Amino acid sequence: MKKYLLAFFLFFSFFQLEAQRINKTKVQNLYDRIKAAGIRHPEFVIAQSMQETGNLNCKKCCLRYNNLFGFYVKGNKCKKFESEEACIEYYKAWQDKRYDKWRKKYPKGDYYHFLKYVRYATGDKYNNEIRPKVNWVKKNLLL
């Protein structure tokens, strides 16, 4: 029964994602900048950005502060960046600080596990929300 519920959730999430307007060129451009910055697992990272910014379209989220990934500071406020490039550099440093330690401890873990390990994803719900986005990225972008 759990498998059917999960399948239904993923199926519903996929169509919900497709129903949202996705500017493929804009997403591809950001993906290319993420990859060029040397960020590991760029297909997951762009999916995180899509999740956090409503496919790079939100008006009332952290994106208005050039925050592509929904980073917060004390007081539950959006971290502000001078530019999107500064935010990408921040993500790279954030990832570098945590990734090798995690990889050493969990050599067979995937990026979903990494996000939970570093508490970016607070549970399975977040990872289940980005799975269809990762699949969309793999299907629609030039990796």
Q: How much is the pTM?
A: 0.85
> CB burial class (10 A; 0-12, 13-18, 19+) of residue 68?
buried
- At 52, phi and psi to the nearest 5? -75, -20
Confidence class for position 19, pLDDT limits 50, 70, 90: very low
* Distant-in-sequence, close-in-space partners of 33: CB < 8 Å, separation ≥ 6: 84, 85, 88
> What are the tokens at 73?
């500071």
Indicate the domain borders of the chain: 2-140
Return all residues near 13 (Cβ < 8 A) that are at least 6 apart.
128, 129, 131, 132
pLDDT, one tens digit per residue, over 28-74 is 999 999 999 999 999 999 999 999 999 999 999 999 999 999 999 99
pLDDT tens digits along 119-136: 999 889 999 999 999 999
Q: Which CATH class is domain 2-140?
A: mainly alpha
- Name residue 87's amino acid: C
